[in-house]
Structure 1
């Protein structure tokens, strides 16, 4: 999959570029012990650090990054970002804007306050037939906001930036949301509807099911060693 990012030429040397998600694993995951003692089991068990689906989800696709430091205090957002005047009419200069609370009226994710919007400074072009799935950075509940998930047909909508709305969830947060913070995790998805097929196990599938379950229960690392596909680096 070839993904093309473009920006205003006046900002080309200023903007942080989108990066592969695999390069932005959080410190808490790196510091997490591979095993922890379980009172229920009476022994050490593996943590999610050793769960390939958990980690692979966090490393999938690419991240859109906050372009500058944003200071948050008492619900107010402030930034100082000296960038060149964009040469393109209608181009944003602020890292944030907002959606009024009424735009989320009736949605369970609304907290009754205005939603912030991370402005985009990159356009994104995908190959024909593919859309861009944008969601909150996976398993990143440590971030003080929650991105609103969306899908954009970026094979056609590729000449303007995609903005990313979010609910500010940590009302007690006071400090700096640092430049380079991942604000959206994105990946291409095919637009063609899947064909859903339903079958009962035949003898071969039943035997495979029983063997796989027995192997997984008998020893650790079966999925990682036998089934997981190695990711390109």
Structure 2
């Protein structure tokens, strides 16, 4: 499918562009070991999450939207030095980040450290997807290393193709100080079909139980079996 992003004239050379998430896997995934010794198993080697295809596939799903400019965090304050261009006919923001008032989350059970705040990452790219599709914007999946948590939203980007979607987030790490560099992923966009879901709840029959047993046995015998197609049975 086509996932089209567009920025205002003059911004393409000043703002990092969204990228396919599969091309921007985090450094910690690349450097983490494949196996480690487990104290709980008397030092026996166990496979790490580096062997978990669903986790890796989630990291690589969809498109990552980047922080527009370097953001300095010092003493609980956010600052930046970025001279963004302005289009003479529009009233768009030129700030890479804004704040949400605490009252805007009144009644929402947000787990926010004492004294911390909600922010809004500015996005300078519109998104267009085919008719009948929406886009789930959420925190970069499995990225607990980031000092914020982006809130999730579902946007009909086939209809809202000429509007900007910004990303509200909670600043969750009160100890973080330093620089978040331009290009840091602040949201992950995953296209989803906009159609009614038919949920079927039932018990396995004998055929499905046998198939489930075959999957269990294959998983125990072959670490790479997850990538195989079991719809026609293991083989």
Q: Same fold (TM over 0.5)?
A: yes
1:77-118: per-residue Cα shift (whole Å, max 9, x none)?
111112322244121111011110111122222526431100
Tell whether the 8 Å contact from 1:36 to 1:47 is kept in structure 2 after alignment: yes
The whole-number CA distance in structure 2 between the counterparts of 1:158 and 1:191 is: 15
DSSP 3-state at the match of 1:89: coil
What is residue 218 of structure 1 aligned with on the other side?
221
Tell whether the 8 Å contact from 1:68 to 1:79 is kept in structure 2 after alignment: yes
Give the deviation of 1:200 after TM superposition: 2.8
How many residue pairs get aligned? The number is 228
DSSP 3-state at the match of 1:11: coil
Give the deviation of 1:220 after TM superposition: 2.0
What is residue 26 of structure 1 aligned with on the other side?
26
1:189 to 2:201 alignment: no
DSSP 3-state at the match of 2:41: coil
DSSP 3-state at the match of 1:33: coil
What is residue 76 of structure 1 aligned with on the other side?
77
The whole-number CA distance in structure 2 between the counterparts of 1:163 and 1:129 is: 22
DSSP 3-state at the match of 2:131: coil
DSSP 3-state at the match of 1:54: helix
What is residue 125 of structure 2 aligned with on the other side?
122
**Structure 2 length as normaliser, TM-score?**
0.91
Name structure 1 gaps, 5 residues minimum: 228-233
DSSP 3-state at the match of 1:40: helix
1:138 to 2:166 alignment: no
Give the deviation of 1:210 after TM superposition: 1.2
The whole-number CA distance in structure 1 between the counterparts of 2:216 and 2:111 is: 41
Name structure 2 gaps, 5 residues minimum: 231-235
Tell whether the 8 Å contact from 1:11 to 1:86 is kept in structure 2 after alignment: no
The whole-number CA distance in structure 2 between the counterparts of 1:125 and 1:188 is: 10
RMSD, aligned CA = 1.7
Tell whether the 8 Å contact from 1:100 to 1:113 is kept in structure 2 after alignment: no
The whole-number CA distance in structure 2 between the counterparts of 1:61 and 1:167 is: 22
What is residue 14 of structure 2 aligned with on the other side?
14
What is residue 230 of structure 1 aligned with on the other side?
none
